[in-house]
Structure 1
Amino acid sequence: MATDHFQPWLPGQGQASHVWSVLGAIGARTRGDFGPGATTPTFRTHPAVVAQASATLASLYPGRHWLGLGSGEALNEHVVGQYWPEAHERIARMFEAVDLIRKLFTASIAGREVRHHGPHFRMETTRLWTMPPVAPKILVATAGPVTARRAGKVADGLITTGAPYDRLAALLGRFSDGARESGRDVDGMQKVLQLHVSWAPTDEEAMANALAEWPIGGMRFSRSDIRSPFEFEQLARTVRPEDFAGRMLVSADLDVHRAHIQRHLDLGFDRIYVHNVGRNQAEFIEAFGREVIPAVRA
C-alpha cells in the first residue's frame, strides 16, 4: 500500500514521490496485490486520468492491483490552487468520481465509449484503450461512519486507519449496513486497515521514533485543512507521549504487537497493512516476520 502524497507530512520525512511510479516499481518487485491506500481523483487529478493509471497497472499485473480512493487533504490537493471545500463537498466529489471511474471501467471492458456530466466533473465521450478483462476493485478510504455506510452501497471495499476499537467496530458496522441495504454480500467485500505502530528494541526508542517520525499519530484533531509540512512541524511540537494512547501502539513488546493485530482481525478486518513509523525498517520486517505475523490467526 502506498498513499498518494504531493508533500510529506513533515519536512524531516524528506520525500513525496509520485504514487503511480512507485506502484509500478512495487508490482515489478513483489508477488502480492497492491494499490494506492488513498488517491484523490478530485483536485490534482481528474477521475478519468486516475482510471487510466489504475487500468494500466491492472493490465501490467493481472489480478494484483486494487484502487483505493479518498476525499483528500489540503496538504496534497491545495497545490493546484483550487478552492478547498468543506468535508461534505469533498466527500460528494469522491463518490461522483467513484461513479465516473466505474462507468469508464465498465464501458471500456465492453469496448464502448462513455461520457459523464455531473455536478463536479465532466468527461467527454471516450474509453480506456488499455483495460484488463476484469476491472480493479474500488475501495473507499474513510474514518467517518456516514461515508462508510455510503461506501458499503457503491464500493468493493473499505479502507481505514487505526483508531480506538469501539470506533472501528462501529465503522465496520455502518459499512455492513450500507452493503446490506443495497443487497450486497458484505462477506465478499474487502475490509482493509492501515495500522500505524512504533516498534523498536526498547520502549524508549519506540517512543522517540513515534515523536520524531509520526507525531501526527498523536494529533487529536482533524488534519484535512492543514496545507504545509511546516505547519505540521509546528503542531507536532505540542504532541506528548500520552497523546498516542488508544490511537497508535508504541511498544518494544512483540507479543503486545501480535495481540494488537489479532484484535483488529477479530473485529472483522480481512487485510491489515502494518506501518512501523520509525526508520528501523529492516529490523522491523525481520522481527515481525519471525515472531509476530506467523503467530497471528487469520
Structure 2
Amino acid sequence: MLERFPPREAVELAEYAEGRGFSGVMATDHFQPWTPTQGQSSFVWNVLTAAAERTRGDIGTGATAPTFRMHPAVVAQASATLAAMYPGRHWLGIGSGEALNEHITGQYWPEAPERINRMFEAVEVIQKLFAGSRAGRDVKHAGTHFKLESSRLWTMPAEAPPILIATAGPVTAKRAGRHVDGMITVGAPLDRLATLFSRFDEGVRESGRDLDSTSKVLQLHLSWAPTDEEAMANALREWPNAAMRFSRSDIRSPFEFEQLARLVRPEDFEGRMLVSSDPDAHRALIQRVADLGADRIYLHNAGRDQRGWIDEFSRSVLPALTR
C-alpha cells in the first residue's frame, strides 16, 4: 500500500515477503493517501520497476485509472515497458478511479456510470495499442471520451500484459468478463464475492472464451497483530477505509477523509475486514475465498510492523493453505 510506506521501504518489504513464501506484489496507484496519517503516495510505475528488479514474482497495478490524471496511451506505454523488462510477470489492473486522485487535474468529476464508461473506453484504447503495436502498425481512436492520433508503442513485449478490471459491482463484473482478461475486487461478504465471480464468468462465456484463459484477483485487507487490542487499534488508525459503508469515490482530500474516519467504530469492521490476533482465523478466511475461485489473493495488513506480520503468516498461514 503505497499510501502507507515510503517507496524504498515498500520495495524492501516486497523482497522480504517473497523470501518468506509470498509469490507476487500488487501496488496501488494513488496521487494522495486516504488519510494524512497514512503519510505517503509514491508513483506506482517507479516502485513496481524497482520491486520487479528485486523479486521474481507477479507485479501488478491494483488499480490504475487511465481516465483523468493520465491518458490511456500513457498507461499503455508504462505497462508495455514494464512487461518488456520483466516478461510474463506484469499484469495491468485498471479501475474507474476516485476523486481523491483524479480531480487534481481540475477536470469535471462525473457520476459513476460515466466513469465506468470512460474506463471501458480507456481499455479499448489500450487494447488497440497493444494489438497494433505487436503487429507493427499504427492505430487511432476517436471515441466519446478519448482521442488517439495514429501511433503505436515502439517498445512492446512479445506478449501483451493481461488487462484486469477492478470492480465491486456485478454489472461491471459481467461487462469485464466480456472484454478483458480478468477482474480484481476487494474483500467482502462471501456471498457477494461469489456473485461477482459468477457474473464475471458469465461475461467470459458470452465472449466465447475459455474461463481458464482469465483470472480473478482478490485484494484482501486484514488487521493482524499479537493481540486483538493492537489489531483493532491498527485498523482504526491505519485503515479506517475498510469500515466505511458508503462510497468513497467523491472524496477529494485526505483531510476530508480524516474527518469521516473519526466516525468509524470497532463494530463497523464486522463483515468487512477481519481484525484478529488469531492467525488461524485469517487462514480460514483466505481459504474460503480461494475456494470461491480467486486465482490470486493479495494480502494487506493494517499494522506498521509488516515484517512481524510477514514472518507470522509465512509460518502459520501460507503453509496451511490448499488449492
Deviation digits for residues 150-181 of structure 1 (CA, Å, limit 9, x no counterpart): 00000100000001111111001110111111
> Residue 191 of structure 1 corresponds to which residue in structure 2?
216
> Residue 96 of structure 1 corresponds to which residue in structure 2?
121
> Residue 63 of structure 1 corresponds to which residue in structure 2?
88
Q: Secondary structure at the match of 1:88?
A: helix
Q: 1:48 aligns with which of 64, 68, 73?
A: 73
> Residue 7 of structure 2 corresponds to which residue in structure 1?
none
Q: 1:223 aligns with which of 226, 235, 248?
A: 248
One-letter amino acid of the structure 2 residue matched with residue 127 of structure 1: R
Q: 1:275 aligns with which of 300, 309, 316?
A: 300
The question of 1:82 aligning with 2:91 is answered no
Between the aligned partners of 2:198 and 2:135, the Cα distance in structure 1 is 35
Between the aligned partners of 2:91 and 2:201, the Cα distance in structure 1 is 20
Between the aligned partners of 1:146 and 1:186, the Cα distance in structure 2 is 18
Between the aligned partners of 2:80 and 2:295, the Cα distance in structure 1 is 24
Between the aligned partners of 2:123 and 2:258, the Cα distance in structure 1 is 33
Q: Secondary structure at the match of 1:195?
A: strand
State the Cα distance separating 1:234 from its structure 2 match: 0.4
> Residue 8 of structure 2 corresponds to which residue in structure 1?
none
Between the aligned partners of 1:117 and 1:190, the Cα distance in structure 2 is 30
Q: Secondary structure at the match of 1:14?
A: coil
Q: 2:152 aligns with which of 114, 121, 127?
A: 127
State the Cα distance separating 1:86 from its structure 2 match: 0.3
Between the aligned partners of 1:91 and 1:272, the Cα distance in structure 2 is 24
Between the aligned partners of 1:229 and 1:282, the Cα distance in structure 2 is 27
The question of 1:17 aligning with 2:42 is answered yes
State the Cα distance separating 1:27 from its structure 2 match: 0.6
State the Cα distance separating 1:245 from its structure 2 match: 0.4
Alignment map for 1:92-171 (pairs within 5 Å): 92-171=117-196
State the Cα distance separating 1:102 from its structure 2 match: 0.5
The question of 1:295 aligning with 2:306 is answered no
* Larger CA deviation: 21-30 vs 184-193: 184-193
What is the total number of aligned residue pairs between the two structures? 298
State the Cα distance separating 1:182 from its structure 2 match: 1.1
One-letter amino acid of the structure 2 residue matched with residue 186 of structure 1: L
Between the two proteins, what is the percent identity of the paired residues? 72
> Residue 236 of structure 2 corresponds to which residue in structure 1?
211
> Residue 261 of structure 1 corresponds to which residue in structure 2?
286
Between the aligned partners of 1:230 and 1:139, the Cα distance in structure 2 is 31
* Larger CA deviation: 278-287 vs 178-187: 178-187
Q: Secondary structure at the match of 1:220?
A: coil
Alignment map for 1:32-47 (pairs within 5 Å): 32-47=57-72
Q: Secondary structure at the match of 2:317?
A: helix
> Residue 17 of structure 2 corresponds to which residue in structure 1?
none
State the Cα distance separating 1:277 from its structure 2 match: 1.1
Between the aligned partners of 2:236 and 2:122, the Cα distance in structure 1 is 36
Q: Secondary structure at the match of 1:210?
A: helix
Deviation digits for residues 21-75 of structure 1 (CA, Å, limit 9, x no counterpart): 1111111111001111100001000000000000000011111111000000000
Between the aligned partners of 1:109 and 1:187, the Cα distance in structure 2 is 23
CA RMSD of aligned residues (A): 0.6
State the Cα distance separating 1:103 from its structure 2 match: 0.7
Between the aligned partners of 2:213 and 2:124, the Cα distance in structure 1 is 20
Q: Secondary structure at the match of 1:71?
A: coil
Between the aligned partners of 2:103 and 2:173, the Cα distance in structure 1 is 25
Please give the TM-score of this superposition, normalised by the length of structure 1. 0.99
Please give the TM-score of this superposition, normalised by the length of structure 2. 0.92
Between the aligned partners of 1:251 and 1:108, the Cα distance in structure 2 is 48
One-letter amino acid of the structure 1 residue matched with residue 193 of structure 2: L
